[in-house]
Structure 1
Amino acid sequence: MGQQLHASVVAVTGGMGSGKSSVSAYLCEIGGAQGLNADTICRQLLEPEASGWLAVRQAFGGRFFLPDHSIDRPLLRQVLFADQEFRRELNALLHPLVRKVISGCIAAELERNPPARPRFVVEVPLLYEAHWEHDFSPVVVTYADATTCLRRIMQRDRINEAEAEKGLAAQMPLPHKALLADHVIDNSGPWSDTCLQILHLRELLW
C-alpha cells in the first residue's frame, strides 16, 4: 500500500478473544486516528450482490446461500473452521477484495486532504496468515493467554469450549504472532492495565 508514504497506517492484529477491537478502538480514540476493520469490510463484501457475495456464488454455487439469497454465515463459519482447504480457497477470494477496500479508503482520505498525514488504525485479524505484514508499519499484536481467549470466545459467541478451540486452531498461534510484532499489548489482565499500555504505545507511534 503505497499510500503509507503519506499516511500513518498502523495494523492491529492478534487472535480470537485477544481483544483486538477494544484495543483498536481505544487507540483510535486517544490517537485521533480513523479506524478500519478487515472483518467488517468482509461482512459488507458478503452482502447480497456485493463483490464478495458474487465471488462466493461463482466459486461454490448455492451451497452457502439461504432462500433470501443472503449468505448462511453460521454454515460458512462452521466449514471455514473445519476445512483447511476451503479456508484457503475462500481467503484467496476475499482477501484481495478486502485489501482493495482498505487501500481505497486511505487513498480517498489523502485525496480529500492532501497536505495532511492522516492516521489510520487497521484491524486485521489474519494479517500474518494473509502475509500482509509488509503492508503496514508498525504492526501491533494484542495478546492474551489461551485460557482468557477461550473464555472470551465462549462468552461472546455462546459456543462450547470445543468449538472455541477449533476456532483458535484455525489461526496462527498467538505467541508466534507476538514474536513477529513491532509492539505487543498484553490484554490478559484488567482493562485499566491495557489502557496504560495503549497510552504508552500512542507516545511511541505519534
Structure 2
Amino acid sequence: MKKPSRWRRHLVAITGGIASGKSRVTRRLAQAHGLATIDVDQLARELLRPGQAGWLALEGRYGSRFWGAAATLDRSRLRRAIFADPSLRAEIDQLLHPLIREAMLAEVARLNPGGRERILVEVPLLYEAGWADDFSRVIVVWAPEEVCLARLLQRDGVSLAEARAAVAAQMPLREKAARADLLIDNSGPWEATCRQLEKIEKIIENS
C-alpha cells in the first residue's frame, strides 16, 4: 500500500464525474484565494507525448497499437479500446497511474518547495486511482448524469453512445458524492454554484 504524500495537509483535491464542471470550480476557487493549481489530466497528456514515460510504458506493453502519425498517441483509438474492454482499461491504469501520481507529487514539490502553500489539484479519477489519502480535503463537483451527458455532447462533439460509455467508465458520481468532504452541486445556473463556493471558500480559508 502506498504512503500518503508528505504534502497531504496542504493539498485540496477537486474531483467529480466527466463534464460535471471540475475545471470551472477549480479556476474559481484558485482565483478567490490566489492559489496554485495542478491539472492532473494535463500531466497525463504530457506523460503520453512521444518518448515520455507514459508513452514508453504503452509502447513497451502494446507496441504501436495506439499510435497515430509520427508515433503520437491516437486518443480516439485508445478511448474506444478501453471503453470496449474493461480489462484493458485496468491494465493501462496500472501502467499509467503510478507515473501520473509521481508527476503530480513532483509538481507539488516544485510549486511548494517550502511546504507551506495550499494547492488545488484537479483529479478526475481520484477515487478510481486510490489517491484520496494524498489530500487533506476532497471537493466533489456533482451534476446529474443527464446534465453531464448534455455538456459532454456539446463540449466534445461525441455521439450519445460515446458519451454514455465515457460516463459509465468512471465510478458513479453518487458514490463519489458520498465520499466527499465537501460537495458542490453544479447542476444549475453558475450563479447558484458560486453561492455554494462562497461557503466553501470560507472553510478553506479557515482550515
Q: CA RMSD in A?
A: 1.1
Rounded to whole Å, the distance in 2 between the matches of 1:73 and 1:110 is: 32
Name the counterpart of 2:165: 166
Name the counterpart of 1:201: 200
Cα shift at 1:31: 1.6
- 1:2 correspondence with 2:10: no
Name the counterpart of 1:190: 189
Q: Count residues in correspondence.
A: 201
SS of alignment partner, residue 12 of structure 1: strand
Structure 2: state its 5+ residue gaps. Answer: none
Structure 1 counterpart of 2:127, which letter?
A: Y
- The match for 1:56 among 50, 55, 58 is 58
Runs of 4+ in 1 over 6 A off after TM superposition: none
Rounded to whole Å, the distance in 1 between the matches of 2:142 and 2:112 is: 31
Name the counterpart of 1:69: 71
Cα shift at 1:109: 2.9
Contact 2:143 2:186 in 1 (8 A): yes
SS of alignment partner, residue 184 of structure 2: strand
Deviations 1:173-197 (A, max 9, x none): 0011100000000000001111111
Q: How do 1:73-92 and structure 2 match up within 5 A?
A: 73-92=75-94
Contact 1:12 1:141 in 2 (8 A): yes
SS of alignment partner, residue 71 of structure 1: coil
Structure 1: state its 5+ residue gaps. Answer: none
Structure 1 counterpart of 2:170, which letter?
A: Q
Name the counterpart of 1:178: 177
Contact 2:12 2:121 in 1 (8 A): yes
Rounded to whole Å, the distance in 2 between the matches of 1:184 and 1:161 is: 27
Rounded to whole Å, the distance in 2 between the matches of 1:150 and 1:72 is: 23
Structure 1 counterpart of 2:161, which letter?
A: A
Rounded to whole Å, the distance in 2 between the matches of 1:110 and 1:165 is: 38
SS of alignment partner, residue 121 of structure 1: strand
Q: How do 1:122-133 and structure 2 match up within 5 A?
A: 122-133=121-132
Cα shift at 1:4: 2.5
Structure 2 counterpart of 1:36, which letter?
A: I
Rounded to whole Å, the distance in 2 between the matches of 1:162 and 1:33 is: 38
Q: How do 1:22-61 and structure 2 match up within 5 A?
A: 22-61=24-63
Cα shift at 1:140: 0.4
SS of alignment partner, residue 129 of structure 1: helix
Cα shift at 1:68: 0.7
Contact 1:11 1:121 in 2 (8 A): yes
Cα shift at 1:84: 0.5
Cα shift at 1:82: 1.7
SS of alignment partner, residue 69 of structure 2: coil
Deviations 1:58-107 (A, max 9, x none): 01111011231111111011112221011111111111111111111122
